[in-house]
Chain A
C-alpha cells in the first residue's frame, strides 16, 4: 500500500469537455476518494429571471446549455404554462415532442463521439459527429438554427413543420439509421472499445437509488425511471413507451443505453409524425402569473430528468425560476462510481455521466 496522494484534476483538462474540478485522492494507481468542485462558469441566470419578463426569459433559458437548448426552452415554457393555466394546442405538443427527440438524438450521438474520443478512437468520433451533422441540418431547415432554435414560446411554438419537411426528416432519419447501426456495432463489439468500458465504474442499483440518480446513468444501473414514461405532452399519445434499461451498471452499459435510446427516439419521431393532428400551433397568452402562484415540472432531457420551479409575483417578471439540471443530480453518483477505480479510467467514468457543467451552473 502506498501513501495517499491528492491529484488535482481539471478544470482545464484535455479529456474534460467542460470545467469540472476533481480532487482525486489516490493510493498507487487506485482512486480512493474524489471530491468534485464546480463554480467556474457560474452565470447567475436564475437571478436574471427577475429582470427579464416571462416571454423574454425563454431565450435565456435556451442558452443555459448548447446541447439541451430545446429541452430547457420546453421545460421553461411548460412550467410557465402550468403557472398560468395555459393549454397548449395538440399540434404544438407533437411538434415539441418531435424537436425534443431530435435533440436527444443529436445529444446522444455527440456524446458517443466524445466517449470515442476519450478512449482514443478518433475515427469513430468523426463518424459519430458526421451523422450528428445531419440532425443539425434538420434543425436548420425546420427551426432556422443549428444549436439555439427559439421555436418554443409560452403558449405553443412559433414555427410549423410542413408535410414536405416531415417527409425529409423521415428520409434523413432512415439514412442515419443504417450507418448508425454500424457505429453502434463498433461500440458494442470492438475489442479496443470493450477493453476501456466493460466493468469500469460499476454502480449497483442500490447505489444508484441511494444517490438519487437520473437519466441514462441511472437506467444503466437498472433504475427504470424516465420522465417520458409518465406520459406527459406528446408522450402520452405514444402507443407504447418502455424506458431502456441495462443491468450491468458499468461504462459499457451506459454506452449501450444511450446507443439504444437513439434508435428509440427515431421510432418515437416516426410515430409522432404519423399521428400529428392539424390545427393551431400556439394560443395567445395574456396577463401575468399571479402573485405567489407556484409550479413545478420535470422534463426528460438527453442527460436525464430536469426539474423546473417557478414562482410568480403578479408582474410579468417571475419571482423565482429554478432549473435543476441532471448533471448536478448525478454528481453524487459520479463520486460513488469513481471510488475504487483506476486513475486511467477516471476520464471514461466522468464522461459516462455525460457531464454538462454549464447546465449545472445556470
Chain B
C-alpha cells in the first residue's frame, strides 16, 4: 500500500450519491470538516481506501443550504455533523444521532465563523501582498523590458503591499532621490565638458558652446512640444 492524498470537488446535490457509491466500493469514512471563508463555508469530506486519501470539497455552503447527512451510510459521521451544526451553523438534515444543537452547549452561537477585526486587517494585508507578488511575476515575465522598467515594476509591487500612507512617503522619497541623481549626473557632464573645452583653443570652444546651447534649446522645445 502506498499513501496518496488528493483533493476533489463535489456539490451538495451530488453528496448522497457520492456517499452511497463510496460505501458500496468499500471506502472508509475518515472525517468531515468545515472551513469558514468569505463566500460561505467549505465542507471537506474525506474517505480512504488502500492508502488513498480523497478529500471531497463542497465550496461555499451558505446559511440557507440544507446539507443531507451521510450518517445512513457512514454512522461515524454523526460526531462531525453535529459539530458542524454547532460550531459553524451548517444546516444538516437527518443526522442519525441528532443532538439538535446541544452537542456543544455554547455561550456564543457559531463561534468558528467569527472573524475579529485584527484578523480582517491581516487578511486584507495578505491579499495586497498576493497582488504585489502577482505584479512582480508579471514584470518578471516580460524580459524584453529593460532593467529600469523591471525595477520600477518591482518597486510598484512593493508599494502596493504597503499601506497607502507609507507608500506615498516612499514614493516621494524615491522621486526626490531620482531628481537628485539626475541633477548630479547633469552637473558631472557639464563639468567634464568644461574641462574638455578648457583644453581646446578658444575659437573652437566658442563654437562648441554655441552648438551645445542650440542643442539644449532644441531639446527644451522638443520637450515642450511633447508635453
**Chain A residues at the B interface, C-beta cutoff of 8 Å:** 35, 37-39, 42, 44, 46-47, 50-51, 209-213, 225, 229-232, 291, 294-298, 305, 307, 309, 311, 313-315, 317, 319-320, 322, 324, 328-329, 331-333, 335-336, 360
Size bin of chain B's contact surface: 35 or more
Q: How many A-B residue pairs have CB under 8 A?
A: 106
If A229-B1, A317-B119 are given as contacts, then 4 extra A-B residue pairs at C-beta distance below 8 Å, sorted by A number, are: A212-B75, A296-B53, A307-B30, A314-B130
Interface of B (DSSP majority class): mixed
Specify the chain A residue showing the minimal Cβ separation from B29.
A212
Contact B119 A332 (CB under 8 A): no
Kindly specify which of B31-39, B143-151, B207-215 makes contact with the partner chain.
Answer: B31-39
Residue from A44, A211, A230, A295 with most neighbouring chain B CB atoms (10 Å): A230
**Residue of A47, A50, A315, A336 touching B125 (CB-CB under 8 A):** A315
Q: Decide: A324 near B33, CB < 8 A? Known: A37-B99, A332-B78, A332-B79.
A: yes
Q: Decide: A291 near B130, CB < 8 A? Known: A230-B3, A307-B31.
A: yes
Chain A residues whose CB sits within 8 angstroms of the CB of B97 once the complex forms: 35, 335
A297 to B31, CA, bound (A): 12
A335 to B71, CA, bound (A): 14
Contact A313 B31 (CB under 8 A): no
Interface of A (DSSP majority class): mixed
Judge whether B217 is part of the interface by a CB distance below 8 angstroms: no
A37 to B118, CA, bound (A): 34
Chain A residues whose CB sits within 8 angstroms of the CB of B51 once the complex forms: 230
Kindly specify which of B103-111, B172-180, B181-189 makes contact with the partner chain.
Answer: B103-111
Residue from B1, B74, B79 with most neighbouring chain A CB atoms (10 Å): B79
A9 to B99, CA, bound (A): 17
Contact A307 B46 (CB under 8 A): yes
Contact A212 B30 (CB under 8 A): yes
Contact B3 A38 (CB under 8 A): no
A38 to B105, CA, bound (A): 10
Contact A319 B122 (CB under 8 A): no
* CB<8 Å pairs between A and B, sample of 11: A38-B79, A211-B76, A212-B74, A225-B28, A229-B1, A230-B51, A291-B127, A291-B130, A309-B33, A314-B130, A329-B76
**Residue of A51, A211, A230 touching B75 (CB-CB under 8 A):** A211
Specify the chain B residue showing the minimal Cβ separation from A328.
B79
Chain A residues whose CB sits within 8 angstroms of the CB of B55 once the complex forms: 294, 296, 309
Chain A residues whose CB sits within 8 angstroms of the CB of B33 once the complex forms: 309, 320, 322, 324
Judge whether B129 is part of the interface by a CB distance below 8 angstroms: yes
